[in-house]
Structure 1
């Protein structure tokens, strides 16, 4: 993970959902549909980040789903003041944070959470959307030997490996900014060459001029970033309406 995963803006609004717990994880829940659920797997700013919760509210309202944002960092949170003050980034032990929240540690919890959506709440259709850190997890939830969700979406994924891309077995949507040191040109090309050969529906959305983090931490006062955020949200809404309803 790099500094691009920390840059961004905090949006000003009030989330409408509530905090609860499922499968041993604290989570934010919004919406009330009894059949359709979406897991939103957060970026480095975690499950309490207001932007993430506002996105969850939009998905719940516009898809017609119950959206869950589980805590994938074991209760640990990055200090939000870093978001607007790059001079404090040297105070952050990002390597240590990522070691404590590695794939090997968090994947079983994410899988259990997805299982609980069906077993504990009886959702018949489940989607997953991941931003930054959550991108790899979305792919894993839709892998052929796992298939805990019915479709996946992600924007500017981080920590993603070619193996994870090659194993996807559900409809997949990728929203990729032009400038992204995490979802590199090599990974973009690999995705666009391989996924169409896997027999799954594939939607690749390209966002020229935008950078990593735009879909969750874009500047609402920048017209191009605002348009990109809105387009990404609308694309995800249409994707989930296509494959979950």
Structure 2
């Protein structure tokens, strides 16, 4: 695990200068970032933020990438107005901060977003993608909502999944080999639990030499060594959605 001085490995990474292709909307009590695909396909994807919140340009970039592949994409503020974590924050208070933002107690927000996508965006099939904190949320959603037809959990902290592994629909899990918050032992335990309890398709991929945040918080040009892994993980994410949505 991360050291006591910084109990989470979620450094901001490479903050993108990115304005976004979508626009902000109000979904009941939640603000959200919405991007439409070039052509309506009747398919939608919920993107769930990491600890740096729904306005992080990097996450909006991924939402737009997904939309460009044919999905109405919505990135809601699952902190519901509470402040996201600041890169300059005092890490000694992080454990208490994250406790106040429980990624497994988001049903009210999930249900509001699902209804919005169906009623206002014509969504007939819906998937979900989440990063870090949002990865935990994806696991919760995929074990709770059968109407969410595909999930991609990107470095969701396994120890916070709860002891529930009966996924309702196909889910892809993406991990980094050198993730101090998610040791490979935890990935192995997840693999065993899913093997015992899961009756739907799933896949677990661990990317060699990568660290927490590599899929959405590293620039493609950050290093020649990292670029192929970033591109492969993003391609796998889209391929999973294409296959099951």
Q: Same fold (TM over 0.5)?
A: yes
Corresponding residue number in structure 1 for 2:26: 21
Deviation at 1:234, TM superposition (A): 0.8
Corresponding residue number in structure 1 for 2:242: 241
Greater percentage in helix: 1
Partners of 1:78 and 1:56 in 2: CA distance: 18
The question of 1:46 aligning with 2:57 is answered no
Partners of 2:102 and 2:51 in 1: CA distance: 12
Q: For structure 2, list consecutive stretches of 5 or more residues without a partner in the other structure.
A: none
Corresponding residue number in structure 2 for 1:74: 80
Relative to 1, partners in 2 of residues 1:79 and 1:167: Cα closer, same or farther, differing over 3 Å?
closer
SS in 2 for 1:8: coil
CA contact (8 A) 2:154 2:175 kept: yes
Deviation at 1:120, TM superposition (A): 4.9
Partners of 2:184 and 2:127 in 1: CA distance: 26
Deviation at 1:136, TM superposition (A): 1.5
Partners of 1:231 and 1:138 in 2: CA distance: 20
Partners of 1:108 and 1:184 in 2: CA distance: 31
Deviation at 1:243, TM superposition (A): 0.7
1:80-99, aligned counterparts within 5 Å? 82=87, 88-90=88-90, 93-99=93-99
The question of 1:61 aligning with 2:75 is answered no
Corresponding residue number in structure 1 for 2:228: 227
Corresponding residue number in structure 2 for 1:110: 110
Partners of 1:89 and 1:216 in 2: CA distance: 21
1:64-213, aligned counterparts within 5 Å? 64-78=70-84, 82=87, 88-90=88-90, 93-103=93-103, 105-143=105-143, 145-158=144-157, 160-164=160-164, 166-197=165-196, 198-213=198-213
SS in 2 for 1:12: coil
The alignment's TM-score, normalised by the length of structure 1, stands at 0.85
CA contact (8 A) 2:15 2:217 kept: yes
CA contact (8 A) 2:103 2:133 kept: no
1:91-128 residue CA offsets vs partner (Å, 9 max, x unmatched): 77423421331236534323432344235544111000
The alignment's TM-score, normalised by the length of structure 2, stands at 0.85
CA contact (8 A) 1:115 1:148 kept: no
Relative to 1, partners in 2 of residues 1:115 and 1:140: Cα closer, same or farther, differing over 3 Å?
farther
Partners of 2:178 and 2:202 in 1: CA distance: 21
Partners of 1:104 and 1:79 in 2: CA distance: 18
Cα RMSD, aligned residues only: 2.3
